[in-house]
A and B are shown apart, each in its own frame.
Chain A
Amino acid sequence: MIKNDFVVRFAGEGGQGLLTVVTALSQAASQVGYNVQTFATFPSQITGGPTWFQLRISTSDILSAGDDLDALVAFNEEAYREHRGEVGGSGVVVYNTEAFDLESDGKSFGMPFGELAKATGNNRAANFVVMGALAHLVGMPLSMLEEFNRVKYTRGRASDEQIVSSNNHALALGRDEAIKSGFSLGELARPTRPEGEQILVNGNEALSLGALAAGLEVFVGYPISPASSILVWMEKNLVGPGRFVYQGTSEIESINAVLGAGYAGKKAMTATAGPGFSLMSEGIGLAWMAEIPLVVTDVQRGGPSTGLPTKTEQSDLLTVLNPSHGDISIPVIAPGTVEECFYAAVMAFNWAERYQGPVVLLSEHALSERQKNIPKPDLSSLRIENRIVYAGVNGYRRYEASELSPMPIPGAPGGYVANGSEHDGIGDTTHLPARHVQMTERRFGKLKLLEDGSYEEENAQAPVTIMPWGGSKGPAREAYEQLAGSGMNVGWAYTMYLNPLPPALLETLRQKELVLVPELNYLGQLSSVLRAQGVRAQSITQYTGLPFRVRDLVGRIRERVNATQREGVTA
């Protein structure tokens, strides 16, 4: 049997090398031309605790992590019991006999991961033992993995040769165990290399690359899951003249430093998650008030309070739209795929520069850790925008106009006060009613400059439309394709531009009988935003800390659509 798709889950405890094996296998598979996508979930601790990673390997583009497992690699008994229910009908469990043993259940086979590794002379080769077994199960030639091994471990060190040869030995030992077990999952079709150059990145890497491509010069951030990897990436890479990257002492210091940088003419960003975002809210209000371009990345995790630091959720939307006290509406761009993380970052800077204010780049845990092959972005075709800079003489009234006006940069003429109090044209504090009216309208009026967001729409004449946001895009898209493929009259709408929404999209949404919004929160946050804008929207919610399963979405969408149709008949 030829398979086009292979889903494998590695479950065990943090620190058992699960990440190593999933990373290695995804790198190996992507190098030979497969599409790959990973999913990671783990507890908030340095090592230990129930952890699992999932890898989907496919000959075509991947939308979701995959519902049913073809293979489960169980590193301990707890993992076996927890996850075996998700192994599909013809799936196989590979388990570590050093951790536990099983009576034969007809779909499992065990091998001693560590002992086999030891036999190669390299105790750290257990991941290669596992990969060798998996390769046999899906008929993948070991040569593919051997090639990956050779490239990865040829690092110009004396030990290279020994490591490469022991890893190859481990691959063969794992394969032999799988052969002995007699199990097979069929044969994974040979990959057709995706067209064009590809890169293998996770969401936070794609986002960081996008920020740099957009011209990021200053980054100040504070460690917080799941945004820390952006800080670490920036500390390593955003160095050199004209740039500044630093770990602040808090999110409050970070946002205020980024405010200073934006004021001083730099493209600046900070990255955080829910708790840090709450601390930044006053600073974001200041950026709105004083009209300072900057980008705040919020990589959402489960909330509120400390919440679920290492689990995924889409529950910060209402917060990021109105983070601060007072009249405020913050532009929000929420990428839905790893590839979109790159382009959303570019657009976040373009928007911030264009309207001279703060923009929130709203990502989420599931995207931040997701590793995926994506087409390599073409930097030469990116449109990069820069703020309009004041180039006149001193005596300029920076805020006097009723609309966007050129921004003076310290060091050049045009002195003014960037003021968080309500202010007059020069930035001096004022309490005059007419000024507050004028300045409030000036600030909100600038949002009109951001109505160029793109969107997707399919089967637009259907009365019911599915409109996910953020990381729920993938599973919702897979569900939509299944439902539409089975003959259901259902539409598709999607945008990563959540505020302001593209006006043309909003117009078509208002014509719908029902807009169904799959989203990972309790309140139904995007649907409430849509309802406030005159759209008949309802949410399909989930708040488990995990992404949607395609199967669940298919069922729940079908239920809602059928109910709507029944209501339509009785009406």
Chain B
Amino acid sequence: MNRRNPEYDFKWCPGCGDFGVRRALEQATEKYLIETEMPVEANVVVAGIGCSGNMVHLLEGPQPYGFHGVHGRTLPVAMGIKMSRPDLNVVIAAGDGDFLGIGFEHVGPQAARNLNVTAVVMDNGVYGLTKGQSSPTTDLGVITSSTPYGKAEVAINPLSIYLTMGVSYLASAMSTKIKDMTSLILNAMMHPGFSVVHVQSPCTEFNDTYELLKGNRKKGIEPVAWSVPDGHDPEDIEAAFRIATSDGIPMGLLYKDASRPTFDRQIAGLTEKAGAKSAAELMESYAI
């Protein structure tokens, strides 16, 4: 629902990157529904557990259909919804812990299937709601509440992992750049296949990376974020890999392959000849 619901007592902290992601998601959804002439009730938001998952309750405007399930399982739920009703627009709102930690095992299979949903992953590099534990994208050596002597693992590179697994639309965005993010999310929704918009969405409380991402000339801090060059061909997977594995965090559209059939079309094609069987027909096959 929205902030006006007095019973709902969850709040994002001031300055949380998720505010910007919400704005972009709202605008992208609105544009998508207008362009496709779909009613708001044809849009379903599947949320993970964590600060970012509260997106489903905090979206302003008309009450959308939402699913706020258990930790890490947005993709299986989204598969159940989308494969039951391919006519619905299914959007996932999850964080780096939910999507790439506990729920990581589900990314590869959905990429291989090319499930036609859009995942908006809010990466703050930390478990915020449980008060500052390390996440898969926390850097090596960083001290968090669960790594008091420094993190012993290197951070994963989500972008190159998505590409390796076969995500068919991949964009990287920054929570403060709402206009760019809106357009990347809208195009992800339009994309026929599994699309991921991975957003740097800093946590002001436990992992404030705003300055690191944007840089600070006065302090001599070079920005970690950089824009994907204009000339990049998003259909060139090798170029996409080069960008994903470069230093820093590239922002923009990295990869897009609209030629692969979506999961629902693939299955429809494979089973077309088999045809639907009724309970009565099947029963008859066991007649004595």
Contact = CB atoms under 8 A, between A and B. Distances in A.
Contacts of A431: 9
Interface in A335-362: none
Contacts of A282: 70
B63 A209 contact: no
Given A416-B65, A417-B68, A31 B85 contact: no
Contact of A265 (B64, B84, B105, B288): B84
B70 A426 contact: no
A260 B81 contact: yes
Contacts of A379: 279-280, 283
B66 interface: yes
B276 A430 contact: no
A395 interface: yes
A426 B1 CA distance: 8
Contacts of A420: 68-70
A426 B76 contact: no
B234 to A, nearest CB: 28
B221 to A, nearest CB: 38
Given A213-B279, A252-B76, A432-B7, A416 B105 contact: no
B224 interface: no
Nearest to B84: A264
Indicate the size class of the contact surface on chain B: 35 or more
Contacts of A201: 286
A267 to B, nearest CB: 10
A205 B274 CA distance: 19
B91 to A, nearest CB: 12
B268 to A, nearest CB: 8
Contacts of B283: 199, 209, 213, 376-377, 379
B41 A394 contact: yes
Interface stretch (B24-32, B54-62, B182-190, B236-244): B54-62
A244 B63 contact: no
Interface in B47-101: 54, 56-57, 62-70, 73, 76-85, 87-88
A213 B281 CA distance: 11
Contacts of B80: 218, 220, 256-264, 268
Nearest to A382: B279
B65 A435 contact: no
A377 B279 CA distance: 11
A184 interface: no
Contacts of A250: 105
A218 B84 contact: yes
B75 to A, nearest CB: 8
A376 B5 contact: no
A394 B63 contact: yes
Given A249-B109, A264-B85, A205 B286 contact: yes
Given A237-B277, A411-B41, A418-B67, A249 B105 contact: yes
26 contacts: A31-B288, A199-B287, A201-B286, A205-B286, A212-B278, A239-B277, A240-B274, A249-B105, A253-B79, A259-B80, A260-B79, A261-B80, A261-B84, A263-B80, A268-B80, A290-B67, A376-B283, A395-B63, A415-B63, A415-B64, A415-B66, A417-B65, A424-B7, A426-B1, A426-B63, A427-B68
The 7 closest A-B pairs by CB, nearest first: A260-B80, A240-B276, A256-B76, A417-B66, A257-B80, A264-B84, A199-B286
